[in-house]
């Protein structure tokens, strides 16, 4: 588990989405509508080894 250097009571969590660019964009928007993450917090789409599939990552920190 990786902890933030600035606060020992916080842990890092990563959300990873795989899918077509269209569905990944829709899910990112769903997280935004839920108030969990701004679209700009997600990484740029990265190609995967599966044709037509992309990956995007969101890193958040949570107090424990």
**For residue 2, what pLDDT is reported?**
54
Please state, in angstroms and as integers, the Cα–Cα distance from residue 7 to each residue in 13, 15, 44, 49, 58, following that order: 15, 21, 27, 37, 19
The mean per-residue pLDDT over the stretch 8-14 comes to 92
Q: How far apart are CA 15 and CA 57, in angstroms?
A: 6
Taking 60 as the threshold, does the pLDDT of residue 30 lie above it?
A: yes
- Looking up tokens 């935004």, which residue turns up? 32
Taking 60 as the threshold, does the pLDDT of residue 4 lie above it?
A: no
Single pTM value for the model? 0.82
| Beta-carbon count within 10 A of 11 CB | 15
Question: Angle CA(34)–CA(51)–CA(49) in degrees, nearest 5?
Answer: 90
């Amino acid at each position: 588990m990786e902890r933030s250097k600035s606060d020992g009571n916080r842990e890092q969590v990563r959300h990873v989405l795989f899918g077509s660019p269209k569905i990944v964009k829709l899910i990112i928007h769903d997280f935004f509508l839920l108030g969990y993450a701004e679209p700009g917090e997600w990484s740029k789409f990265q190609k995967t080894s599966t044709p037509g599939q992309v990956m995007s990552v969101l890193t958040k920190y949570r107090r424990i």
